[in-house]
Amino acid sequence: MMNDELRNILESSPAKMQALFSCQYAGITTLDLAIQEVRSEQLRDRSIRSGLAWLAAPPLNTFQPALKVAQPRLLGCTGRPENVYLLTEFGAEVLNELLNGLRIKAPSPRNELDLTHRYLCLKVFERARSGEMEAKIEYSLENHAQKVRADVFLEQAGLHIAVEVEQKLPRKNLNRAVRKFVNWKRYIEESGQSGQWRIYLLFNVRKRERRTVIRSWQEALHKAEQEVGILPFSVLYFTSSDLLGKSSLSQTLIEAEFLDKLDEELDKPDVEITEEKPEVLPNYISPKLYTDFEMAMDRVRNAKPDQGFFPLIELASLIHQASFSAGSPTITRAVFPWASIWLMRRYLDDPWMEPVKTKLREEFKKMRKRNLGVIMLRETMTGLFWDTLLFHHGLGRGGALRAVFQVPDFQDLTSDFRVEVLISNGVQGIRRAEQTRALSWFLSSLYLYREKLGLTTPKGEQR
């Protein structure tokens, strides 16, 4: 329940109020949508950004956050994705009270793919509104013959458009795509509505997988036509990169490709269509944790050279939290951090990390032969982190990150080999204490667990 103090704050701040109101369409918002929602030209973008930040992190000991911040997983796109703001349970209660009876629910994305699906639906909606197109999110249409649902439904000048966000199509789900096309045919023919119908597939897939996905959807389209005959709609496709990179939604739709347009190059998919075989994971790695790890690795690999910092600290945080979350056996009973070490090993074994892993192995072999003193060990390890691993992520010394390898004070039983990490206060949008701790462990583990990570062999063994 919203108290009078919070109501007064929101009513006296159009930026905060309108930013919250922009969540009413899907339970989430972005800076661009919040700016659209603001009707006063006196408010600058900076005010809206500050309003969103305040709703996500109000002053301590005042109110619960009304929003929480997340980032979608955009494949085939360059650059860091924008923040997405999701209503919390408290935020949904406040919004519903302000809107006098609307029942907006706080979204609960199942995973990062689900979050990205919601985000892309919202971006289509947002861009449609900016182009003065009527749009509805997760819109259902039903008649006596069939019920169908569009992720986003658009209407303009007699043209009916359903946009469907698609992020993968395993062979086992091919029939689902066929049924989608068949169901739309049944609905449209029964509806008797005049005008032209189009279905747009919005693909969020890796570039190397795009042709394979397109071929799968082409196959589904042809199977549907074989089953029910000519379809009363056209099917086109565009990508998340097209959506975000073009000046308007209208331009994106105009330049979209027809799905049934056969291309000789598409007959040669660069990824073979095979059944997906789930990997056998150790019992301390859940499927969700592994999926989150793969997504984090995607962001690390796809980051531009000047944008590697945030993907790296997010990856380090995920790996660290796998074993060191509050109340975990590692924290409460000193259980070996199996999950974190397993993920670190997968990180190092990734083909993208091969030059780093090779260099680390070479240097650890040299260090063992030279038997370095503590001062030389500190200098050597600090240089190895910066000149090899952090450099591989596009990072360098003298900026917002400080990382120094420290040797233990042998008169202090609480000290150990560790990497001391500091992140400048000028860096915004991070969980500073948590992610500083995570990055410290992430880097320290390369030395402390070098045998478990496959970087050295036990003494006496030859590689």
Over residues 239-283, the pLDDT tens digits come to 999 998 888 899 999 999 998 754 444 444 444 434 444 557 899
Over residues 154-173, the pLDDT tens digits come to 988 788 999 999 987 777 78
Taking the alpha carbons of 118, 255, 272, 342 in that order, is the dihedral positive or negative? negative
Average pLDDT over residues 57-68: 84
Among 168, 167, 162, residue whose Cα is nearest residue 183: 162
Higher pLDDT, 188 or 4: 188
Q: What is the signed CA dihedral for 201, 202, 203, 204, rounded to 10 degrees?
A: -160
Note every long-range contact of 94-99, with CB atoms under 8 Å and residues 24 or more positions apart, other chains counting. 94/2, 94/6, 94/10, 94/20, 94/66, 95/20, 95/21, 95/23, 95/24, 95/66, 97/1, 97/2, 98/2, 98/10, 98/17, 98/20, 98/21, 99/21, 99/24
Give the CATH number for residue 159: 3.40.1350.10
49 and 191 in a single domain? The answer is no
Indicate whether 78 belongs to any domain. yes
251 and 341 in a single domain? The answer is no
Residue 140 to residues 104, 148, 149, 371, Cα–Cα distance (Å): 17, 6, 4, 70
Which of 82, 108, 134 is a domain's end point?
108
Using an 8 Å Cβ cutoff, are 321 and 441 in contact? no
**Residue with token string 């091919």:** 174
**Residue with token string 């945030």:** 310
Distance CA 276, CA 286 (A): 18
**Amino acid at residue number 398:** G
pLDDT at 308 over 90: no
Distance CA 211, CA 270 (A): 7
Which of 108, 131, 147 is a domain's end point?
108
Q: What is the mean pLDDT of the chain?
A: 85
For residue 294, the model assigns a pLDDT of 83
For residue 459, the model assigns a pLDDT of 62
What tokens does 126 get? 């947002």
Indicate whether 275 belongs to any domain. no
191 and 228 in a single domain? The answer is yes
The boundaries of the domain holding residue 41 are: 4-108
Indicate whether 454 belongs to any domain. no
95 and 172 in a single domain? The answer is no
DSSP per-residue letters across 273-313: -----PPP--TTS-HHHHHHHHHHHHHHHH--TT--HHHHH
Indicate whether 380 belongs to any domain. yes
40 and 167 in a single domain? The answer is no
For residue 319, the model assigns a pLDDT of 96
Indicate whether 458 belongs to any domain. no
Band of residue 37 on the pLDDT scale cut at 50, 70, 90: confident
**Amino acid at residue number 297:** M
Give the CATH number for residue 55: 1.10.10.10
151 and 220 in a single domain? The answer is yes
Distance CA 342, CA 345 (A): 5
Using an 8 Å Cβ cutoff, are 139 and 149 in contact? yes
Indicate whether 344 belongs to any domain. yes
How crowded is residue 395: how many other Cβ atoms within 10 Å of its Cβ? 19
Using an 8 Å Cβ cutoff, are 271 and 212 in contact? yes
Indicate whether 277 belongs to any domain. no
pLDDT at 200 over 90: yes
145 and 219 in a single domain? The answer is yes
Over residues 323-358, the pLDDT tens digits come to 999 999 999 999 999 999 999 999 998 888 889 999
Report the percent of the chain where pLDDT is more than 70: 90
pLDDT at 41 over 60: no
Query: Number of folded domains in the chain?
Result: 3
90 and 163 in a single domain? The answer is no
128 and 102 in a single domain? The answer is no
220 and 159 in a single domain? The answer is yes
Q: Where are the beta strands (DSSP E) in 123-243?
A: 134-142, 147-156, 159-166, 196-203, 234-239
Among 256, 263, 258, residue whose Cα is nearest residue 241: 256
Which of 84, 108, 132 is a domain's end point?
108
pLDDT at 78 over 80: no
Indicate the range of 98-107, 202-211, 308-317, 332-341 predicted with least confidence: 98-107
pLDDT at 3 over 90: no
361 and 218 in a single domain? The answer is no
Distance CA 397, CA 401 (A): 7
Over residues 214-249, the pLDDT tens digits come to 999 999 999 999 999 999 999 999 999 999 888 889
For residue 267, the model assigns a pLDDT of 45
Indicate whether 248 belongs to any domain. yes
pLDDT at 296 over 70: yes
246 φ/ψ angles, rounded to the nearest 5 degrees: -95, 160
Average pLDDT over residues 447-463: 78
For residue 329, the model assigns a pLDDT of 93
Distance CA 358, CA 349 (A): 10
For residue 181, the model assigns a pLDDT of 94
**Amino acid at residue number 408:** P
Distance CA 154, CA 162 (A): 6
102 and 122 in a single domain? The answer is no
**Inter-helix orientation angle 338-349/287-302, to 10°:** 40
